[in-house]
Amino acid sequence: MTLGDFYGIGIGPGDPELLTLKAARIIKEVDVIFVPKAGIKEESMALDIARPLLDGKRVVEKVFPMIKETERLESHWREAALAIKEELEKGSSVGFLTIGDPLTFSTYVYLLRCLREMIPEEKIHTIPGVTSFNAAASLANLSLAQRDEKVAIIPVPDEVENLRPILETFDTIILMKVAKRLDQVINLLEEMHLTQHSLFASHVGLKDEYLTRNLTELKGSGRGYMSIIIVRK
Ligand SMILES: C[S@@+](CC[C@H](N)C(=O)[O-])C[C@H]1O[C@@H](n2cnc3c(N)ncnc32)[C@H](O)[C@@H]1O
């Protein structure tokens, strides 16, 4: 039996219409779909987005807890890679769904690293997806870069103050993984007189999508999860 093909598939940030034709075709064609879940009780968001295309296909959900201990996390990825390898060795093709683009701030790269040690590179295919920040910018018809402008894409650090030199240097700053640091980020933007140049977007493409340019109003709202702030000077 020949080894099946593996596809890491970017499915966009939420709106099923932002799934590429290629991603949709491969989701329909593969024998098995693997999806990541943040915790056992949590519905996989990726699965929700792709559900209309699955049509009775076998789905394997793998839990990847939101933890920072690399060793424990690695054992989850290795276990997922082994389960995928087992399917591929049976001759099945496997798709692995990721939110947005698979190679942009995605834990998919951990899986990729494990798979590369187990199967030949030519059997691994990554299918790009629309990123969450591209979708957020489009919601507001906001240009991200022109001519020689510089763009920074930054996951908000625990030490929010570390954003200051980046906010000073770049023309466009895309802040991801804002989460519980939303109020601190807004305080910094206010102090730097950047709130009037900022845009906040959360749950882009999902039913509770929210977009505002009034960041000050957001303080204390707890809306930081699944959100992006774009600062455009
Ligand atoms: C693990 S990263 C995944 C990024 C993804 N691979 C991409 O290409 O956009 C998770 C972060 O992406 C952003 N994100 C993902 N989906 C989003 C959405 N639908 N709306 C707003 N932000 C989103 C948030 O900043 C979130 O904290």
- The alpha carbon of 18 and the centre of ligand 1 are apart by a number of angstroms equal to 14
The type of residue at 29 is E
Name all domains of the chain by residue range, CATH numbers in brackets.
6-127 (3.40.1010.10), 132-232 (3.30.950.10)
- For the Cβ of 22 lying below 6 angstroms from any atom of ligand 1, the answer is no
- The alpha carbon of 1 and the centre of ligand 1 are apart by a number of angstroms equal to 38
Residue-level pLDDT at 183: 98
- For the Cβ of 100 lying below 6 angstroms from any atom of ligand 1, the answer is yes
- For the Cβ of 13 lying below 6 angstroms from any atom of ligand 1, the answer is yes
Per-residue pLDDT of the chain (233 residues; tens, 9 = 90+): 799 999 999 999 999 999 999 999 999 999 999 998 876 555 678 998 999 999 999 999 988 777 667 777 788 889 999 999 999 999 999 999 999 999 999 989 989 999 999 999 999 999 999 999 999 999 999 999 999 999 999 999 999 999 999 999 999 999 999 999 999 999 999 999 999 999 999 999 999 999 999 999 999 999 999 999 999 99
**From CA 164, how far away is CA 74, in angstroms rounded?**
32
Residue-level pLDDT at 36: 86
- For the Cβ of 226 lying below 6 angstroms from any atom of ligand 1, the answer is yes
- The alpha carbon of 190 and the centre of ligand 1 are apart by a number of angstroms equal to 24
Query: Token pair 């510089």 is at which residue?
Result: 150
CA-nearest residue for atom 4, ligand 1, is 105
- The alpha carbon of 169 and the centre of ligand 1 are apart by a number of angstroms equal to 24
- For the Cβ of 176 lying below 6 angstroms from any atom of ligand 1, the answer is yes
* 124, 88 Cβ separation under 8 angstroms: no
* 175, 154 Cβ separation under 8 angstroms: yes
Query: Token pair 């290795």 is at which residue?
Result: 78
- For the Cβ of 203 lying below 6 angstroms from any atom of ligand 1, the answer is yes
Tell me the chain's radius of gyration from C-alpha atoms: 19
- The alpha carbon of 33 and the centre of ligand 1 are apart by a number of angstroms equal to 21
User: 70: buried, middle or exposed (CB in 10 Å: 19+, 13-18, 0-12)?
Assistant: exposed
Distances (CA, A) of 114 to 75, 84, 110, 111: 10, 11, 6, 5
**From CA 176, how far away is CA 20, in angstroms rounded?**
23
Residue-level pLDDT at 130: 98
Task: Please give the structure tokens belonging to residue 95.
Answer: 């798709």
**DSSP codes, the chain:** -PPPPEEEEE-BSS-GGGS-HHHHHHHHH-SEEEEEESSTTSPPHHHHHHHHHHTT-EEEEEE--S---HHHHHHHHHHHHHHHHHHHHTT--EEEEESB-TTSS-THHHHHHHHHHHS-GGGEEEE----HHHHHHHHTT-----TT--EEEEEPPSSGGGGHHHHHH-SEEEEE--GGGHHHHHHHHHHTT-GGGEEEEESTTSTT-EEES--GGGTTS-TTTTEEEEEE-
Q: Which of 105, 47, 111, 104 is nearest to 79 (CA)?
A: 111
